[in-house]
Structure 1
Amino acid sequence: MEMKTSNEGLSTENGEVLEELKSFGLSFDEYQRLVQLLGRVPTRAEMALIGVMWSEHCCYKSSKRELKKLPTTGKRVLVKAGEENAGVVDLGNGWAVVFKIESHNHPSAVEPFQGAATGVGGIFRDIFTMGARPVCFMNSLRFGEIRAEKTTQASHNAFLLRNVVAGIAHYGNCVGVPTVGGELAFDSSYEGNPLVNVFCLGVVRVDRIQRGKAEGIGNPVFIAGSKTGRDGLKGAAFASRKLEGHKTEDRYSVQIADPFMGRILMSACLELFQEAGVVVGIQDMGAAGLICSTSETASRAKRGMEINLDNVPVREADMLAEEILLSESQERMLLIIHKDKVDRAKAIFAKWDVPFTQIGQVIEEEKLCFYHRGKKAIELSPDLIVHQAPVYELPATEPLLTNSSFPPLEKIPQPIDYKAFLLAFAALPQNSSREWIYRQFDYLVGLHAIEEPGADAAVLRVFLGNEQVRLAATLDGNGRYCGIDPYNGAKIAVAEAIRNLSVVGALPLGITDNLNFADPKNSLVYWQFKETIRGIAEACRFFDIPVTGGNVSFYNYSKDGAILPTPVIGAVGLIETDKPIPKLSFQHPGETIVLLGGWGEGLQGSLYLQERLGITGNQLPWFHLEAEKKHNEVLRLLISEGLLSTAHDLSEGGLALALIESVGSGRKKLGCSIVFPTNRRLDELLFNEAGARTIVSVPKNKLSAVLWNCQHKGLEAVVIGEVLEDYVLRLHYGEESIELKGTEIEKSWKNGLDALLSTTEDYGGA
């Protein structure tokens, strides 16, 4: 698809100015700003470049003011959010961890396989661009309903799910980096606009951290990797507007993945980084391609570049200058090499059979000069491109409270047949096992993952020189909670991520966030965004953890309107104890099951009420930051003393789902018997989603130590049952007993997603 641009000025004839500006992604005010900054009328080529670089995806013009409210510093932070391609946190002993999350929502809606695959490829390059060797991927996925009785779009949503998962698996498996966990959720608000958020983590020696700066006058500039084509043209601008059906031209905005080139490009770069002084600066060519990488590296160094676009290896003839600059062809890297070390760099790239071509040099004057077809085609200031974009403070309107308040508990009818309801609840797409997804991933490659995916947090074995450390990583978010109350919903998302790290004994090091919202120009949406930022900031300051980076994705809509406000929190922690990590599933018959944090109360905001009665209401489950902090400290203490065999936090689905998962996920096929108090309703005990709670199983000879520690620290701990040798989940409520056989749990929970997908026709039609 060719871009219809040239070096002529903007026409004002026939009243088509606004429409023409829209084609470049510029408003009239932004056009006037550009004219003022240039001191002249811009050419169409310049408007094409600025329209993309000033897009929401590249310059964060509607979110930058709010993002500054997040805490980004800390004693371990080596590279802060926004400074480079990813944040870096110190691990000690000369090593650091690099991690980040990014979205590829719009491309995955239009071309799910390639959209997801290139999302993985982009975050992969962000991590090794920092000098780090990628250790793992995780992903947070959201789709519309896949139950045929809920929507006529079930087949299309299932098609998106299948192909997004296939794209993620394709890229991760090919580059040899394991996908070790993540999350999956469904809601009608994501229909036609899935959320595909991809996380990557790597480790690097502190003295080998790379920077994206074009320093050293006269140093040559190289492009490495794949050839440049017309795929992905204006992909950043495409991600900065609302999807409008399935336009054919949108497919040209989706990049094409080449994981095999991605793998050897990484290998060449990592080998190059081992030799000090060869690489002066490096930047991935992701969103906005060559124009973004040249302008950002030049602006960081307060230098300029002369670039000969005729030297850029291209796949297609007759590409315009702006097409070469804006192409988002994948697996490409911009490198500034020390002028005395060029031969060494060439030798390493030749060894890995990676194309490596000089396209320009660093100059003293702060300007970017692009030459094409033997003459200067474009000249712009990197400061204008990167730092002079408008920054907006948009109107935010708090919604009026509706009458959809939570009904009195006694007005809510309980299930007539608890066994049937529990099995149906376990089989819900929101609740069922994610094994169908992770069995497509090579999660054991590299031998980093200590357990298979599916636990509260992934635990990774990482070798740092002669030392072995254990890291933990998790992704968490709940759009339903944030739809009810974005401020407290965001705090809950941070708290649950930290709780999931604590369940495996990890001390949190930092978080990265992916903020998925609809149109920021809608005052309600922008209020949700601001409240979400406020909640994340407050929770992070309370837990004293920094936000090391992340991503904002606006303009996410389904056919029926805006998506739920969906912040996704990626958290990373360090496991300092050498004691065994508690498992998710029950391990030893006869062990005592203890509920840390108590039974909880209320059903407000629960998945149980939404699924059973269609009630959302305007209240969230009980939650308190102080309770979360105390719970996490005690949990880490118990693990550090080796007192727990298993641990599983309670969140969406409450105690009921946690027990089903603890029985159904185990290879040992052990069950449990649970006794409930009769002074409360059984559905409230089973399905409330109150925070700061975990179920643990404890050897009998360690039970007194667990209870003493909890009492000493002021954390409620209730003995609720024991682990059984029988493969069964038994629930006792007064005279009533409910028994779910392990085979029944496997059929409903473990095979639930498989069963749903097998009933939906695989086709891509809308």
Structure 2
Amino acid sequence: MTLDTVKHAAETPDVSQPWKELGLKEDEYARIREILGRRPTGAELAMYSVMWSEHCSYKSSKVHLKQFGEKAPESDALLVGIGENAGVVDVGQGYAVTFKVESHNHPSYIEPYQGAATGVGGIVRDILAMGARPVAVMDPLRFGAADHPDTKRVLPGVVAGIGGYGNCLGLPNIGGEVVFDSCYQGNPLVNALCVGVMKHEDIHLAKASGAGNKVILYGARTGGDGIGGVSVLASETFDSTGPSRRPAVQVGDPFQEKLLIECTLEIFRENLVDGIQDLGGAGLSCATSELASAGSGGMRVELDRVHLRDATLSPEEILMSESQERMCAIVEPDKVERFLEICEKWDVIATVIGEVTEGSQLEIFWHGEQIVDVPPRTVAHEGPVYHRPYERPSWQDALQADDANKLPRPATSDELKQQVLKLVASPNQASKSWITDQYDRFVQGNTILAQPEDSGMVRIDEESNLGVAVATDGNGRYAKLDPYAGAQLALAESYRNVAASGAKPLAISNCLNFGSPEDPAVMWQFAEATRGLADGCLELGTPVTGGNVSLYNQTGETAIHPTPVVAVLGVIDDVTRRTPMAFSEEGQLLYLLGETREEFGGSAWSQVVHDHLGGLPPQVDLEREKLLAEILIAGSRDGMIDAAHDLSDGGLIQAVTESCLRGGRGARLVVPDGLDAFTFLFSESAGRAVVAVPRSEELRFTDMCGARGLPAVRIGVIDGDAVEVQGEFSIALSELREAHEATIPGLLA
């Protein structure tokens, strides 16, 4: 077979090419020909196809994502924003923290273990590429109905993949979520987050500058796994008759990644790199084009120098391979020898595959023959931009009119009690310890808080006890009812969770999971959610540092609920002052902060008791969220609060149950004036938390709330071995614990 060189492509303009099979549209293929002034070579076609895919180019979402920059709040903490591998924030004392959340949804459905494992590996390398040591991971997960047979196939494999990879890397898994809903039946969401720590001067960026500097590929050998990978899988919907795509799922090796991490950190310490990029989605196509595009010149690459696991791979396959555990570095010539020495020390394969040039083109050669000659920005940063049509779906009004407040409520105290037990035992509200116990949450010895706490927290300086807290949240049911409000509720809950632990929220990352952008109704959901998130971040003062868009999350015509997952990162000056969620001290007073209204649209109660989704989600008041956060942070810092738990899914009774079981202490509750027992227990009004206040601090705490104008009502006391609602019912902790902890093992063990 004749090698398709640049010269050959120029001489054979009419050769038929498989652009459609590679996921390109006819007009996109025409534009590539226009850019090059000829037809592309096979290697060029491969590069454009993966880099212009939805997953890599954000071609359907760019026009909406730009709001995160246009509406960005002023922030003294933001050091690196959108556009790099991950955002970076200043947390004080010379430290910077980088964090990001991404998706690995489709690969995890096809091959649950490897899909989830390589999702962890990929996000860890993004953090590493910024110059940071990864210190913790988190995983927000969504699966189909808990009792569906396919959930039993997907969930255990995903959990094993996350645990297997993260545990082998020695990274604590400190948080996340597990949500079950039939809308995710054929399309689970596997989002992965990583946090890394560095000093300000250690920040590295992905750029190739300095003519004559060498391009070094190092890490694992390149194989046939992951060819096209997420760049193809994430750019189309699933259907039941489609072909198996197992070869498109990458295969991970956490031990190789651990060597790569330590090798890279030593290279950073010796200041040996000018630019660096991990190889994730789109593999070498992405790394070479993005480094060259962000740099000051061109790049020449000798592709046949790449170390292979499979000698039969074609140049196109090498460029598209998404084999894991690989990095690409730009190194000055006089530092190459030392760079290679460090790689050899760590048993990491490293090869000089090219150099930065004074030109403007990305040129790739195969055994001396030129197979790629492209302007790198057209590959990496100037792909298609779609203004997809969008419109409010015709069913939205009827959905919102189907008010959850009209649903039958419990008529007796015994019925109220039974609904409480049903709620805390439901898959979404039940204990997830069967899952989280498979993750090492305390490796490295710096984990301060981990699941099931409101946020994960790690110490980053052992002398000063400086730490960071991270929470992830996203309620697809709320977003289905109102995407704008749903995105803001996700932001507000993550913000509230971070504050509840005593940390000050600083910045966010997001993973926007939606159905097909070719559906105007889905595109409307995306546009509204993005607008809501941008507006919310501006009001809360938390800039978006980066994130991920995952589209085509649907099976056939059935899209998932719009699911914007929001990760908020906060800083705490002294982790010894953190606030746990456990009610552990008898006699402490319980206070409900915030206003409780009759808000049940999208609620856990409406789902569990009535299998209902309709009405409007809870109201959003971001000014109130800021005030609540300030009170929670001050109360933690000044010793006025011993425990705190935000109120969200399941309302007050879910929060009290979790805090009582966590601390092994019961609670006696009194329904406040103006509320009925049902609304008091099950309402999901936002901007609320329940806190445990030592009696000695009650006056100081209530004075603070009163002075700041935050509603705070005493609702009970930590006492006994039951959760009692005065005048209604009492449930022993042993009965609650059995209901709460038996569900997931019963479904999945």
Q: What's the offset of the Cα at 1:6?
A: 9.0
Structure 1 distance, partners of 2:311, 2:193, is 36
What amino acid maps onto 1:165 in structure 2? V
Which residue is equivalent to 1:701?
A: 696
Aligned counterpart in structure 2 of residue 519 of structure 1, from 516, 521, 534: 516
Compute the displacement of 1:628 (Å). 1.4
Decide which moves more: 447-456 or 676-685.
676-685
CA-to-aligned-CA distance 1:638-666 (integer Å, 9 cap, x gap)? 12211011100100100111111011222
2:214 corresponds to:
220
| Aligned CA distance change for structure 1 residues 525 and 407 (closer, same or farther; 3 Å) | closer
Amino acid in the other structure paired with 1:128: L
What code does the residue aligned with 2:503 have?
A
C-alpha separation in 2, matches of 1:321 and 1:159: 36
Q: How far apart in 2 are the matches of 1:679 and 1:219?
A: 72
Are residues 1:31 and 2:29 paired?
yes
Aligned 1:301-700 pairs, distance under 5 A: 301-400=295-394, 401-404=396-399, 405-407=401-403, 409=405, 412-414=408-410, 417-463=415-461, 467-558=464-555, 561-576=558-573, 580-666=577-663, 669-677=664-672, 680-700=675-695
CA 312–727 in structure 1, closer or farther in 2 if over 3 Å, else same: same
Residue 711 of structure 2, aligned match among 716, 719, 726? 716
Root-mean-square deviation (CA), in Å? 2.0
Give per-residue Cα distances to partners, 1:607-630, cap 9 Å, x unaligned. Answer: 211222233223112331222122
Structure 1 676/21 Cα, relative in aligned 2: closer, same or farther at 3 Å?
A: same
Measure how far apart 1:249 and its partner are.
Answer: 4.2
What secondary structure, in the 3-state scheme, does the structure 1 residue paired with 2:31 have? helix
Query: Deviation of residue 462 (structure 1)?
Result: 1.1
- Which amino acid is the alignment partner of residue 392 of structure 1? Y
- Would the alpha carbon gap of residues 399 and 408 (structure 1) be closer, same or farther in structure 2, given more than 3 Å must change? closer
Q: Which moved more, 1:376-385 or 1:222-231?
A: 376-385
Q: Deviations over 1:718-738 (max 9, x none)?
A: 1111111x22111113xx3x1
SS in 2 for 1:676: coil
The 1:513/1:61 distance shift into structure 2, 3 A limit, reads same
After superposition, residues 159-308 of structure 1 pair within 5 angstroms as 159-235=153-229, 236-245=231-240, 247=242, 249-276=244-271, 278-308=272-302
Tell me the distance in 2 between the aligned counterparts of 1:451 and 1:635. Answer: 16
User: Could you tell me how far 1:746 is from its partner in structure 2?
Assistant: 1.4
Q: Distance in 1 between matches of 2:323 and 2:203?
A: 26
Per-residue deviation, 1:43: 2.8
Deviation by residue 1:435-467 (Cα, 9 ceiling, x = unmatched): 111111111111121134211111211127x54
Aligned residue type for 2:627: K
The secondary structure found in structure 1 opposite 2:484 is: helix
Task: Tell me how far 1:631 sits from its aligned partner.
Answer: 1.4
Secondary structure, aligned partner of 1:341: helix
Q: Distance in 2 between matches of 1:685 and 1:558?
A: 39
SS state of the match for residue 518, structure 2?
Answer: coil
> 5+ unaligned residues in a row in structure 1: which ranges?
148-153, 759-766
Which residue type is aligned with residue 125 of structure 1?
R
Q: TM-score, normalised by structure 2?
A: 0.95
Q: 1:74, CA displacement in angstroms?
A: 2.4
The separation in 1 between residues aligned to 2:126 and 2:471, in whole angstroms, is 19
Q: Structure 1: which amino acid aligns with 2:77? A: R
- Aligned residues between the structures: 737
TM-aligned CA distance change 1:249 to 1:372, over 3 Å: farther
Secondary structure class of the residue paired with 1:494 = helix
Worse-matched range after superposition: 488-497 or 371-380: 371-380
- 1:398-450 CA distances to partner (integer Å, 9 max, x unpaired)? 12443342448466232652222211211111101111111111111111211
TM-score, scaled to structure 1? 0.93
The Cα offsets for residues 146-189 of structure 1, whole Å up to 9 and x where unpaired, read as: 22xxxxxx111122111101000011000111101111111111
Deviation readout 1:560-591 (Å, 9 max, x if unpaired): 60000000001100113566222211111111
Pick which of 680-689 and 395-404 moved more. Answer: 395-404
User: One-letter code of the match for 2:107?
Assistant: P
**1:474, 1:337 → 2: CA distance?**
37
**Helix, strand or coil for the counterpart of 1:353?**
coil
Mapped to 1, the partners of 2:568 and 2:356 lie a distance apart of: 38
Q: Distance in 1 between matches of 2:226 and 2:575?
A: 47
- Paired with 1:437 and 1:410, the residues of 2 have a C-alpha distance of 36
Shift of 1:261: 0.4
Task: Give, as a single letter, the amino acid of the residue that structure 2 aligns with 1:413.
Answer: R
Q: 2:55 aligns with which of 54, 57, 69?
A: 57
For residues 313 and 296 of structure 2, the distance between their equivalents in structure 1, rounded to whole angstroms, comes to: 29
Structure 1 residue 345: Cα displacement = 0.8
CA apart distance, 1:12: 7.3
TM-aligned CA distance change 1:282 to 1:407, over 3 Å: closer
1: CA distance between counterparts of 2:574 and 2:319?
50
Against the structure 1 CA distance between its residues 408 and 314, is the aligned structure 2 distance closer, same or farther, given a 3 Å change threshold? closer
Corresponding residue number in structure 2 for 1:150 = none
Question: What CA deviation, in whole Å up to 9, does each residue of 1:290-332 have, x standing for no partner?
Answer: 1110110011113222111111100112211111111100000
Q: Does 1:132 align with 2:132?
A: yes
Identify if the C-alpha distance between structure 1 residues 411 and 176 changes in structure 2 by more than 3 Å, giving closer, same or farther: closer
Amino acid at match of 1:242: T
Structure 2 unaligned segments of length 5 or more: list them.
none
Residue 731 of structure 2 is matched in structure 1 by 740
Equivalent position SS for 2:524? helix
Percent identity over the alignment is 42
1:717 and 1:543 map into 2 onto residues whose CA distance is 22
What is the letter of the counterpart of residue 468 of structure 1?
Answer: N
Aligned counterparts, 1:86-105, within 5 A? 86-105=86-105
Contact 1:459/1:472, CA 8 A, preserved across alignment: yes
Between stretches 368-377 and 432-441, larger displacement belongs to 368-377
Distance in 2, matches of 1:113 and 1:415, equals 46
Q: Output one character per residue of 1:20-63: Cα deviation in whole Å (capped at 9) or x when no partner.
A: 43202110111111111111122333222211111111111111
Once the two structures are superposed, the pairs formed by residues 61-72 of structure 1 within 5 Å of their partners are 61-71=59-69, 72=72
* SS of residue matched to 1:262: helix
Cα distance in 1 between the residues matched to 2:364 and 2:557: 44
Q: Secondary structure at the match of 2:333?
A: coil
Question: How far apart in 2 are the matches of 1:559 and 1:673?
Answer: 50
Instruction: Please say which of residues 85-94 and 567-576 is displaced more in the overlay.
Output: 85-94
Distance between the aligned counterparts of 2:66 and 2:500, measured in 1?
31
Per the alignment, do residues 522 and 110 of structure 1 end up closer, same or farther by CA in structure 2, a change over 3 Å counting? Answer: same
Aligned to 1:78: 79
Q: CA deviation at 1:468?
A: 3.2
User: Contact between 2:488 and 2:620, CA under 8 Å: does it hold in 1?
Assistant: no
8 Å Cα contact 2:595-2:685 kept in structure 1 = no
Aligned pair in 2 of structure 1 residues 618, 603: CA closer, same or farther (>3 Å)? Answer: closer
Q: CA deviation at 1:360?
A: 1.2
Are the aligned partners of 2:403 and 2:615 in contact in 1 as well (CA < 8 Å)?
A: no
